[in-house]
Structure 1
Amino acid sequence: MSFRSVLLLAGFVLAALNLRPAIAGVSPLLDEIMDDVGLTPAGGGAITTVMVVCLGLFGPVTPLLARRFGLDRTLLAGLLVIATGLTLRGLGGAPVLYLGSALAATAIAVMNVSMPGIVKQHFPTKVNLMTGVYVSMVVAGAAASSALVIPLEHATGYGWRGVSALLAVPALLAALLWLPQAVRRPEGAGNGPRPFGAVLRSRVTWYVTALMGLQSLTFYVMLAWLPTIYLEAGLAADQAGYLLSLTNLVQVGTSLAVPVLAGRRASQVPYVMAACVLTVAGYLGVLLAPMTVPWLWMVVLGIGQGASFALALLIIALRPANPAEVTALSAVAQSVGYVIAALGPLLFGLLRQASGGWTVPLVTGLVMLGAQLVAGWFAGRPAVLVKASLDPCER
């Protein structure tokens, strides 16, 4: 492997690692942030909600940026903006907290949409493998940040504000590694095809969008509130953070293996169904017996959610024929999907306030998983996204 290939792979991996710490790093510190800034539980949940809303709202600009500047330069800009947002959100009160979070999430939105296209552009013969690598690094970043923010806070004495700024360092390092790709002649920039029309007319797009949104909703609910659920059940803050880290760590291996296996088959339906059933089992464990074998529920939940996320992104990468179509499908599925997902953490916070416990929110999550099961059945079936000879019933 040449030095250029090593640099490409290293930059790709580290860029993927930066796609979740800005979000996952909030949850273990949420009680401290709420006390410091003066937020209610709904206001605390709104931090994640604001970020997930931005993931939905700003993803559609990515194909425009990619056509103008190329995917590589778009990714580099995203890394720099993430670092800026992470630094900003610890510098003031609630407005600055939300503003910095929104800025970081906007950059993540652009990178989320860019990455499947980058896989198709730089690794066209290894889409299954590199999708697995990409997704596993995303969840590894979430696991590392949720596990390390509290120990890092204790070790440095900086508090949540300083820890937020420290999370910007990996983003800056990733930008440095990706710089050689960005300074090259941009691929995919200019007056290329505009596949949005065909993508929007395809039924496949909306099946994939529903799967992406519902699996993201059930994931971000747990990302935002799982440590708080266990804090209220009697665990210490660091132990609650470790449980969240465990479920995220399990997702690393799952999300690496599942795309390689599922990508070998024309239909991903069996894998999508199995992943959803495991997520249901994890939710039921947290609802009915959270303190009995919490590590087991985290493992089951991690397998289910990691596989669901990886399969949604794999389907996005497999159905289109070229990077432009991948980016367009990714923009639609992730943008609309994350708008759906944004309702989750805020809804859970409101239901927690209204009901005084976690039973009603978790039962609501199970209902959402039922809808995810249906969406996965349609999204996982073999289909071609955009093709001139495509049967009209698949459009």
Structure 2
Amino acid sequence: MSRSLAWRRVLPFLALMILVALNLRPALSSLAPMLIRIQQALGLSADAIGILTTLPVLCLGIFAPLAPWLTRRLGAERTLSLALLLLAASLLVRANASVTLLYLGTIGAGAAIGIAGTLLPALVKRELPRGADLVTGVYTMALCLGGALGAGFSVPLADAFGDWRLSLGSWAGLALLALIAWRWRMPHPWPATDDAPRRGPRVRVFRQALAWQVTGYMGSQSALAYIVFGWLPALLQKRGLGEAEAGWLLAASVMGQLITALGAPWLGRLGRDQRPTILILLTCTAAGIVTLLQAPLEWRWAGVMLLGLGQGGSFSMALTLIVLRSATAQLAGKLSSMVQGIGYAIAALGPLLVGILIGRTDNLTVITLALLGFVLAAALCALLAGRRRQLDLDDHGRLITRHQ
């Protein structure tokens, strides 16, 4: 294939990937700045609000393993279309004063994001195998931008519409736009031609220690990410900040993630392995947490930037490790399913724990220590997952871990 023809294929895929990725965080981040408003409007308890922030993260883990199963039957392209349709419908259902529909819509949105988020790393490995780690940084940057849009505009939209429900439901428009573009520009063969998982040998990545190390890192750093998405505005409001400013601080933190989301995979390539890069990023995350929750409020902007720089790169490296630690697109899909399925189930414990702590105590020191515990867990997993290892198949089709 000539270079010009290759770029004609690559550029549309990159644009579509970015558009899809923009949809995978607003459903989560748009809720956080309005938690107190929703709690007061619906008369929810602190525990009920805690469950509301935990549900979508838990669904990411529960429904992520559906992605490879659906891909074998429908193809990757149709599966992603189905996930985008489910996301749009769920966001509309969630925009409701009914507590039942609010929770059902939240579950549906989490399921859709879990399926789509699991598919994309494997699609990147399939479409762009040589630069998959760097392209993953672009994908992560789009995820962060979507999170920033959700956090920054949820309160202004609610004020403009005069109703928090319309603010939450408005994000369905972005999901429909992505669905239309994906259906229009990406071939949807039928019957599905993406049958590599059927032809390939049956492999069980969960038997490899390396897969569990990457999963542990994904789970612990994602717990921090969803604590920030779900609870940072509420925690800042407890420190005396207003609803709108707390939302903009979350948005600023997520915007800060754009820098390291794109740069961390490139930086990780420079050394023999990814451990130094990840540990530097986790140090930034810890410094941001302490600054925001313990230091004087005058330092809050420095705190959100430190937090954003740390978390954007940490998540980007988690997705990059899925690509770097798998030798083929098939293995990347299987590893992605495990890492995101089990990892997000672990991550759901983070918002739940913070919700329980907020309902039991106003002591921010206790909450700070809990968050630093997740940072420590992520660092310990990174020391193992960041080494130069890769899942591959030997000459007999058996799954092994190669030293690179």
Would the alpha carbon gap of residues 230 and 392 (structure 1) be closer, same or farther in structure 2, given more than 3 Å must change? closer
d(CA) in 2 for partners of 1:73 and 1:210?
Answer: 30
Is the 8 Å Cα contact of residues 195 and 328 (structure 1) preserved in structure 2? Answer: no
- Corresponding position of 1:23: 28
**Alpha-carbon distance between aligned partners in 2 of 1:330 and 1:204, rounded to the nearest angstrom:** 13
Match of 1:382 among 374, 381, 388: 388
Residues 71 and 117, structure 1, Cα contact 8 Å, conserved in 2: no
Alignment of 1:295-334 (within 5 A): 295-334=301-340
- Normalised by the size of structure 2, how large is the TM-score? 0.93
Aligned to 2:283: 277
Query: Is 2:131 aligned against 1:126?
Result: yes
TM-aligned CA deviation for residue 393 of structure 1: 9.3
Q: Deviations over 1:159-178 (max 9, x none)?
A: 11111111000110011111
Deviation at 1:287, TM superposition (A): 2.8
C-alpha distance in structure 1 between counterparts of 2:201 and 2:146, whole Å: 32
- CA distance change for structure 1 residues 134 and 191 in 2, over 3 Å: closer, same or farther? closer
Corresponding residue of 1:160: 164
Tell me what 1:286 maps to. Answer: 292
2:39 aligned partner, one-letter code: M
Aligned residues of 1:282 and 1:298 also touching (Cα < 8 A): yes
5+ residue gaps, structure 1, are none
Equivalent position of 2:181 in the other structure: 177
- What SS class does the counterpart of residue 51 from structure 2 fall into? helix
Question: When the two structures are superposed, what TM-score results if normalisation uses the length of structure 1?
Answer: 0.95
Letter in 1 for 2:108: L
What secondary structure sits across from 1:293 in the alignment?
helix
- Could you tell me which amino acid in structure 2 is paired with residue 155 of structure 1? A
Q: Which amino acid aligns with 2:247?
A: G
Identify the range of structure 1 (73-82 vs 383-392) with the bigger mean alpha-carbon deviation.
383-392
**2:318 counterpart letter in structure 1:** A
What is the RMSD computed on CA atoms of the aligned residues? 1.9
Deviations 1:353-373 (A, max 9, x none): 222332212211112211111
Match of 1:96 in 2: 101
1:216-235 equivalences in 2 (<5 Å): 216-235=222-241
Count of aligned residue pairs for this structure pair: 393
Contact 2:84–2:175 under 8 Å retained in 1: yes
Q: Which residue, out of 33, 37, 40, partners 1:32?
A: 37
Q: Distance in 1 between matches of 2:155 and 2:200?
A: 46
The answer to whether the 8 Å contact 1:69/1:189 transfers is no
Q: CA separation in 2, counterparts of 1:56 and 1:120?
A: 21
Work out the CA distance in 2 between the residues paired with 1:81 and 1:168.
10
Shift of 1:235: 1.1
Cα distance in 2, alignment partners of residues 156 and 3 from structure 1:
41
> What is residue 16 of structure 2 aligned with on the other side?
11
Question: Which amino acid in the other structure matches residue 349 of structure 1?
Answer: G
Please say if 1:345 is aligned against 2:351: yes
CA distance in 2, matches of 1:123, 1:129: 10
Identity in percent: 35
Contact 2:65 2:341 (C-alpha < 8 Å) held by counterparts: yes
Letter in 2 for 1:192: R
Q: Choose the corresponding residue for 2:209, options 203, 206, 210.
A: 203
CA distance in 2 between counterparts of 1:189 and 1:71 reads 10
Paired with 2:369 and 2:168, the residues of 1 have a C-alpha distance of 33
Find the partner of 1:54 among 56, 59, 63: 59
Residues 234-249 of structure 1 mapped to structure 2, 5 A cutoff: 234-249=240-255
Summarize deviations over 1:331-375 as a string: whole Å, max 9, x none: 101111111110111111111222233221221111221111111
Three-state SS of the structure 2 residue aligned to 1:102 is: helix
| 1:11-43 Cα deviation digits (max 9, x unpaired) | 211001001110111001111111112112221
> How far apart are the structure 1 equivalents of 2:153 and 2:202?
40
Deviations 1:181-204 (A, max 9, x none): 142464423762466634121111
Unaligned 5+ runs, structure 2: none
Give 2:349's aligned amino acid. L
Contact 1:48 1:345 in 2 (8 A): yes
8 Å CA contact 1:214–1:369 kept in 2: the answer is yes
1:118 CA displacement: 0.8
Q: Write the deviation string for residues 127-151 of structure 1: whole angstroms up to 9, x where unpaired.
A: 1221011000001000011001111
